[in-house]
Amino acid sequence: MLHNYMKIDLLQYKSLETNGEFFGYACTFNNQDDVGDIILPGAFAETIRSQSHLVLLWQHDQKEPIGYITKFKEDLIGLYIKKFIMQLKRAAYALIAAGVIKGLSTDYLIEDYFHDGTIRYIKKIKLIEISVVTFPANRQAMIEDVKLNHKYLKLLSSIKRALNTLAINKEIINI
């Protein structure tokens, strides 16, 4: 199986007060995923026209909704999304903010496609949900920007101060 990978900056932190937003590509076009599919530009057009929001799941588990998609659009690269993480799932947001979990994945019904023998080219999709996942089938589908919540910035700042204090105390003891 032939794989084409394109480097995308996966995660950039911004020091802004927000409500758990992150941005990224839930799917990229013209890229063969690990299942052997290539999604073509325009595949999500009907979903974008007909749906105002989508559910955001954790690892495709329908029992684990962690938020919702507030904006989604197709551009030249793929399906670009803006997500809001609900406060109830702080553990998920912490893993995303730390860069531990970066993958995005879509669940959909295929409405139109063609085969060239080994690869399925998907022309039209009905999007069901988008998930934050550990290992996406489309390795280019990644979170690329996170806006950290003010509470997390305070926590990170406290941790840095504590580590600096420990380092200073260690130097004094070693002198």
Count of Cβ atoms closer than 10 Å to residue 81 Cβ: 23
**Residue 60 designated active-site:** yes
**Of the listed 64, 74, 115, 129, which one is catalytic?**
129
Distance of CA 53 to the CA centre of its chain: 16
Cβ distance 119 to 38 under 8 Å?
yes
DSSP letters along 116-132, please? SSS-EEEEEEEEEEEEE
- Per the residue annotation, which of 17, 21, 74, 105 is the catalytic one? 105
What is the C-alpha to C-alpha distance for residues 80 and 157, in angstroms, rounded to an integer? 31
For the chain, give the longest Cα–Cα distance.
Answer: 71
115 is an active site residue: no
Q: Using CB atoms within 10 A of its CB, is residue 79 exposed (0-12), middle (13-18) or buried (19+)?
A: buried
Active-site residue, from 46, 50, 60, 144: 60
Query: Which amino acid type is present at position 168?
Result: I
Annotated catalytic residue 150: no
Residues belonging to the active site: 60, 105, 129
